[in-house]
Amino acid sequence: MQRIGRGKFKLGKVRKYMPEISSLEKSIFKKLKTAFPYANFCVWKTSVFNEFMQHQPSRFFLMVETDKEITNSVFYFLRDLKKSVFIDPTKDILEKYVLDNKDVVLIKPLLSEAPTQKTNEIETVTLEKILVDLYCDEIIFSAQQGAEMRTIYKEAFAKYTINQSKMLRYASRRRKKEEVYRYVSKISNLWQHS
């Protein structure tokens, strides 16, 4: 039996999502934690969507999410490491500057109580977080929108155990709880009813 939310259970084996961590993610995370030991970080690559997608994009971003107060400091730190870095880019900046670069690092503020997990000593994303972020940020995740987003959601729910309470709590922190709930309910019967 697997727990999928507060007071909600589903028969079957728990299948926990653990993203693969690249050497680049490890390296960046360790350098950031050394430079900013008291800051919170969540480091991940947008290639995590690949296992759920039908069409594979050719470009990936390294996402560095951190405390809002230090996003500028992190930007300058990574730029000094000769990285192509952008802070929370707009659609215009993405189209003009980001898409032509390789190995781009995008810095975004990390919301308090965002669902993260430790994998190989690196603080990274949970499936609940990437699904909500995907829904909420159609600019950065433009390659994963539309029919592709439906495929990602369906595949994620089919392959892994998703904590619905955790997912909706995070969606609420992003002020999209009702929208995310309606979206998931509309695309299929993914929510487990108790």
Grade residue 6 by pLDDT with cuts at 50, 70 and 90. Answer: low
pLDDT(134) > 70: yes
Are 153 and 141 in contact by the 8 Å Cβ rule? The answer is no
Q: Which strand (E) or helix (H) includes residue 57?
A: none
Tell me: the pLDDT tens digits for 41-93? 999 999 999 899 887 777 788 999 999 999 999 999 999 988 889 898 888 88
Q: Whole-angstrom Cα distance, residue 42 to residue 120?
A: 13
Quote the pLDDT of residue 5. 53
Residue type present at position 161: T
Residue type present at position 132: V
pLDDT(169) > 60: yes
Quote the pLDDT of residue 116. 93
Q: Whole-angstrom Cα distance, residue 137 to residue 159?
A: 23
Global pTM? 0.84
3-class secondary structure, 20 = coil
Q: Pick the residue with more confidence: 28 or 189?
A: 28
Q: Whole-angstrom Cα distance, residue 170 to residue 184?
A: 15
Q: Pick the residue with more confidence: 163 or 56?
A: 163
